[in-house]
């Protein structure tokens, strides 16, 4: 079966018509994984036997006349910092290279209950720390649009897997843009839900007040279907919100004629690549053609977002990663004589350079004499950033910005300059600091043929409004997805 461009709706139609089985779909995708993963390095772990066994169980149910709904029979990929019972979860780090969790994350349990088939665990920046997927202990993921470029980070494996048809839907995690930036770079749709909308139970913590699990798919409808399954309160996560869940799929066709779209002037200044600016401004003009009204809003503290984020996120990382010490689980250094030496050597050999950098930064800003000057002040600035959005949303329904300041950059281009790498997150980190939902969707291409993403931001728990606007845009201005074919039927990217 040709799985190119396969969506959940198309998969369910084919299953219901008995044109194909879940097992045949999974085997077709596994064939692509076997052929392309060596090049793209998308998967760290592939679960072929478990997936085929699961597919056969689902096919047996379909043979009784069962009608597929939800995520029934949908092949999914899981970012490798989300726990999966019986399947190793490495966080793309040597320190957890052989760790097999005894339980699954709540989001994974919900996928399974909805009938999804897990294909494997996707590559990412180590402990989700990075913007390019070059920090993985298992090597970088390559962008399917151009193998010399990054897929974005930290959920680069998940976004590239969706883009290259190595799964239908993927889960990523977003601490400062780690779902949205890869979605932008790989030409797919990625949603960061409101903080608390999706349980974090089973997500290996990086920044606990910032982390959120989010779906990545080729279409907004598939993102909506996945969110419908994974959203909701969880007794295992005290930060999850016990609030009603909207019908995201039904809301996709909501009218956007009266939509007030906020355009912050601060998001279109210095540092934004001209091609990205043109593509996003075209998307804004298209929204206006669809009936939306444009409102100029201001986010006056946006310029402090990167500094603020990298104080708060590293502080939380320093605390969260203290548990990886070689005592209870994970890698333990050998050839040591004292406990202190074991701690030091285990962490030195087990963690990569970027993780060490963030632990040291976080430990510094939390240390005696610097806590008030850095961490406490950063929390105050965070409050100001959140207030900026609250003020802006009094005048508009959604806010639009670029997702990233540039299209996908070259592998190795920024890896030696951490500050330049961090600036790639300028438009995304603020959303995590404020706990808001945001989505990245394809809005155009660079002169090199690379995808460009546009970001929509909504008030807390307004994912339905966000996805409706994204879906309506997608229907009115369809942008070629990575599955697009030439007239000869060949792949959009000849290198694959």
Active site residues: 79, 154, 178
Side-chain-side CA neighbours of 155 within 13 Å: the count stands at: 39
Please tell me what DSSP assigns to residue 73: T
User: CB within 8 A of 324, min separation 6: which ones?
Assistant: 95, 96, 330, 347, 350, 351
The residues, any chain, with a CB within 8 Å of residue 63's CB and separated by 6 or more, are none
Q: Say if residues 471 and 221 touch (Cβ distance below 8 Å).
A: yes
Provide φ and ψ at 456, rounded to 5°.
-110, 140
User: Which residue carries 């949205």 as its tokens?
Assistant: 180
Which contacts qualify for 130-133: CB closer than 8 Å, 24 or more apart? 130/154, 130/354, 130/421, 131/177, 131/178, 131/181, 131/421, 131/422, 131/424, 131/425, 132/156, 132/409, 132/411, 132/414, 132/415, 132/421, 132/424, 133/157, 133/182
Tokens matching residue 198: 């999706």
First to last CA, the chain: 18
How many angstroms separate the Cα of 393 from the Cα of each of 100, 287, 473? Answer: 44, 18, 21
Q: How far is CA 140 from CA 41, 75, 134, in A?
A: 7, 23, 4
Closest by CA to 125, choosing from 134, 113, 112, 116, is 134
Q: What's the token pair of residue 100?
A: 């097999």
Q: Which residue has the tokens 């996928």?
A: 111
């Amino acid at each position: 079966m040709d799985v190119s461009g396969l969506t959940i709706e198309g998969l369910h139609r084919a299953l219901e018509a008995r044109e194909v089985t879940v097992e045949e779909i999974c085997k077709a995708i596994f064939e692509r994984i076997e052929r392309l993963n060596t090049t793209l390095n998308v998967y760290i772990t592939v679960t072929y036997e478990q997936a085929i066994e699961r597919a056969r169980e689902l096919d047996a149910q379909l043979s009784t006349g069962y009608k597929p709904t939800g995520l029934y029979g949908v092949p999914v990929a899981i970012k490798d910092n989300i726990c999966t019972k019986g399947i190793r979860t490495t966080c793309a780090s040597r320190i957890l290279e052989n760790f097999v969790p005894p339980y699954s994350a709540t989001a994974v349990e919900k996928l399974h209950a909805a009938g999804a088939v897990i294909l494997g665990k996707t590559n990412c920046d180590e402990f989700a720390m990075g913007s390019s997927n070059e920090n993985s202990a298992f090597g970088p993921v390559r962008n399917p649009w151009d193998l010399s470029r990054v897929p974005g980070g930290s959920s680069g494996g998940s976004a590239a897997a969706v883009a290259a048809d190595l799964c239908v839907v993927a889960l990523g995690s977003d601490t400062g843009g780690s779902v949205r930036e890869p979605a932008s770079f790989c030409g797919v749709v990625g949603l960061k839900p409101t903080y608390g909308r999706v349980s974090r139970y089973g997500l290996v913590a990086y920044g606990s007040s910032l982390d959120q699990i989010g779906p990545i798919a080729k279409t907004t409808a598939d993102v909506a279907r996945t969110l419908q399954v994974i959203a909701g309160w969880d007794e295992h996560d005290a930060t999850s919100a016990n609030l009603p869940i909207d019908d995201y799929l039904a809301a996709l066709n909501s009218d956007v004629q009266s939509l007030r779209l906020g355009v912050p002037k601060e998001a279109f200044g210095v540092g934004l690549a001209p091609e990205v600016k043109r593509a996003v401004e075209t998307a804004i003009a298209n929204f206006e053609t669809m009936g939306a009204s444009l409102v100029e809003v201001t986010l006056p503290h946006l310029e402090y977002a990167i500094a603020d984020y990298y104080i708060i996120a590293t502080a939380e990382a320093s605390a969260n990663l203290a548990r990886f010490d070689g005592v209870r689980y994970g890698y333990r250094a050998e050839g040591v004589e004292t406990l202190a030496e074991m701690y030091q050597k285990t962490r030195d050999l087990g963690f990569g350079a970027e993780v060490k950098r963030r632990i040291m930064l976080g430990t510094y800003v939390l240390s005696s004499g610097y806590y008030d000057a850095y961490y406490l002040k950063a929390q105050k600035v965070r409050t100001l950033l959140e207030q900026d959005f609250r003020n802006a949303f009094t005048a508009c329904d959604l806010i639009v910005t670029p997702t990233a300041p540039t299209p996908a950059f070259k592998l190795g281009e920024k890896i030696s300059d951490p500050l330049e790498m961090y600036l790639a997150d300028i438009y995304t980190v603020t959303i995590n600091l404020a706990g808001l939902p945001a989505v990245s969707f394809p809005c155009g291409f660079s002169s090199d043929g690379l995808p460009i993403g546009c970001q929509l931001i909504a008030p807390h728990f307004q994912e339905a409004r966000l996805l409706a606007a994204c879906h309506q845009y997608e229907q009115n201005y369809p942008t070629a997805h990575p599955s697009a074919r030439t007239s000869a039927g060949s792949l959009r990217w000849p290198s694959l």
